[in-house]
A and B are shown apart, each in its own frame.
Chain A
Amino acid sequence: MPDTYFYRYDDFDRTLVAERVEQFRDQVRRRLAGELTEEQFKPLRLTNGLYLQLHAYMLRIAIPYGTLASRQLRKLAEISRKYDRGYGHFTTRQNLQLNWIRLEDAPDALAALAEVDMHAMQTSGNCIRNVTADHYAGAAVDEIEDPRIWCEIVRQWSTLHPEFSFLPRKFKIAITGSPNDRAAVRVHDIGLRLWKNEAGEVGFEVIVGGGLGRTPMIGKTLREFLPRDELLAYLEATLRVYNRYGRRDNLYKARIKILVHEIGAEKMREEVEAEYLSIRDSALRLPAETIEAIAHQFAPPVLPERPMISGRVEAERLSNADFALWLKSNVAPHRVKGYAIVTASLKPAGSPPGDASAAQMEGVADIADAFSQSELRVSHEQNLIFPHVAIDDLPQVYKSLAALGFAEANIGKITDIIACPGLDYCALANARSIPVAQRISTHFAGLARQHDIGDLKIKISGCINACGHHHVGHIGILGVDKNGVELYQLSLGGDVDFGKTAIGTILGPAVTADKVVEAVDSLVATYLDNRQDNERFVDTYRRLGAKPFKERVYAAV
């Protein structure tokens, strides 16, 4: 099977990761032998992505910019079966979390990951985390340039960067190469958007100071257009300014968004530009050959053009209503004629969003080998993507996914819910997320109704840290703990679409757990009663405001 369209570890990478595994093996041995206290060991295990959650250790594995080869997914399945309970959770940062890892097995799990050029470094701590990207990267019809080239350059620059290993807080970068933002770049510490200027040159819009969490902010554009070869100098300058002025006295005010908010975008720009000017012509300027060499690793697969119309697809469409809906919601246009991008829904009705068993991961890897050049992507919306599927193969891909339980025709619909692990797993959570998502998706399970409701993004977080991105959900749901009781705060109108990025507005008093489904049902009913033409839920909300939604919800609950 081809495996040529990915980042490739060189000897430096392999040595670094192998040494890190052995270093951690020794640290674990010393901890188990009592030679290290928990206070001494905790930062060491977190540096290797190993958290201690409510019930067990959790290993957060970095999936670089959400790009996976089938052999890597197969290895993740093997690791989950051998060292965990045989399933994993794909996260909103395109990573995979294994929830039941034993400390004594963690070094072996990391060694197994290294076999397929993966690791868990920089998935915790106040460093630059795994860079995220558009999950249609390398295939999207609207793509100006593959963002993974730049993700990989940022990955190489930021991995164990000595100056940025102890920032005031964690730091998240997202990159999109398309005008339709599928990477939520305006709600990251730094968002980068590739675009083409009037002269036909491709460069970056640099957006700084976005983020969700306790204080949600939409990022500010510091640079409208940055030449590509100056990317690392500009990033380094931004990180230096943050490292210098970011607050270390208050955990809740330590993210770069607070710095940008406090000093203002203009002052931030001045500081960054001054620093940038001093380093722009340093070794950080990317030579054309370096960019080309990395771009070569992400060269698109050779896909001979094929007919856009397939007799097999048309026959299946006419005979299978669910397949017809799946074509509408789970299949996106590809930039090569005769191909499509397919999203496998990890949100079957009533299931934990983003979870996949080892057998399912292996099944998905098999489908990728047979139909998608052995390539996969993980989306921040917690689904898996086959980027290069021939249109004529769609019926077979659908059937194979249906056998895995991943063919739900619900992408972008009300049951395609983002949810964090919540209080069932997470040591930081105040309330459960997954059971709430399960109840909503069970309630709205009918596909015809979901498609009638149309595009509607529900995002659920179990605490204010907002791993479930509730601030930018069309309907956001935040779990809170009030005197030991789980309550859920609803917000409306959040969005990450480019040009429409918005933080949702809280609707009113939080509702009890048993009223969440009823409340969502009331919101949907209000929309259906009031929508005009092809308005989406969020469009109707924007036109009418909160009042009719609020009245109906609080009359019902």
Chain B
Amino acid sequence: MAKNLSGDLQVASANRLADGIVVWLDDAGQWTDRLEHAAIARDPRSAEILLERARAESFTVVEPYLVAVAEDEQGALEPLSLREKIRASGLTFEAIAAEAVRYA
């Protein structure tokens, strides 16, 4: 699948204040926990504006910042850095459940 890996595409991300979970700013200026709903800045000027909007909407989140993403032909987004991939998709191993007594 062809992807735009130029690093030009960016989304605004933060952690939600109340519970710390990862969120992204959508086109309506709301914070969403779904990356696919994130507003995309496609050039440096748009990225500046997106970050300003994120900061203006930061009452319920902690320290918004820009994240470089790639977009495939279907419009699916994927962060470029491993750190942001893990933030977006969660742990890369299976965490144990509360009632687990044997998880090996």
A355 at the interface (CB under 8 A from B): yes
- A356 vs B102: C-alpha distance when bound (angstroms): 10
Q: Of A30-38, A315-323, A493-501, A543-551, which stretch is located at the interface?
A: A30-38
A505 at the interface (CB under 8 A from B): no
Q: A103 near B87 (CB under 8 angstroms)?
A: no
- CB contacts (< 8 Å) of B62 on chain A: these are 38, 52
| Main secondary structure on B side of the interface with A | loop
**Nearest B residue to A55 by beta-carbon distance?**
B22
Q: Of B13-21, B24-32, B39-47, which stretch is located at the interface?
A: B13-21
**Nearest B residue to A80 by beta-carbon distance?**
B98
Q: A54 near B102 (CB under 8 angstroms)?
A: no
A177 at the interface (CB under 8 A from B): no
Q: A32 near B18 (CB under 8 angstroms)?
A: yes
- CB contacts (< 8 Å) of B59 on chain A: these are 34
The bracket for how many chain B residues form the interface is: 20 to 34
Interface centre among A55, A56, A350 (most CB of B within 10 A): A55
Chain A-chain B contacts (Cβ-Cβ < 8 Å), number: 106
- CB contacts (< 8 Å) of A360 on chain B: these are 100-101
**Chain A to chain B: the 3 pairs with minimum beta-carbon distance, closest first:** A86-B98, A348-B104, A56-B20
Q: A102 near B20 (CB under 8 angstroms)?
A: yes
The bracket for how many chain A residues form the interface is: 35 or more
B1 at the interface (CB under 8 A from A): no
**Nearest A residue to B58 by beta-carbon distance?**
A38
Q: Of A66-74, A216-224, A431-439, A525-533, which stretch is located at the interface?
A: A431-439
| Given A355-B96, A363-B101, A424-B93, A54 contacting B63 (CB threshold 8 A) | no
A-B contact pairs, 10 of them (CB 8 A): A54-B22, A55-B90, A56-B20, A81-B98, A102-B18, A351-B96, A352-B96, A357-B98, A359-B101, A481-B82
A328 at the interface (CB under 8 A from B): no
- CB contacts (< 8 Å) of A53 on chain B: these are 20
Q: B90 near A357 (CB under 8 angstroms)?
A: no
Interface residues, chain A, CB within 8 Å of chain B? 31-32, 34, 38, 52-57, 80-81, 85-87, 101-104, 348-352, 355-360, 363, 403-405, 423-425, 431-432, 434-435, 438, 481, 484, 486
- CB contacts (< 8 Å) of B66 on chain A: these are none
- CB contacts (< 8 Å) of A435 on chain B: these are 92-93
| Given A405-B101, A484-B81, A56 contacting B96 (CB threshold 8 A) | no
Q: B80 near A357 (CB under 8 angstroms)?
A: no
B76 at the interface (CB under 8 A from A): no
B21, B101, B104: the one within 8 Å of A55 (CB): B21
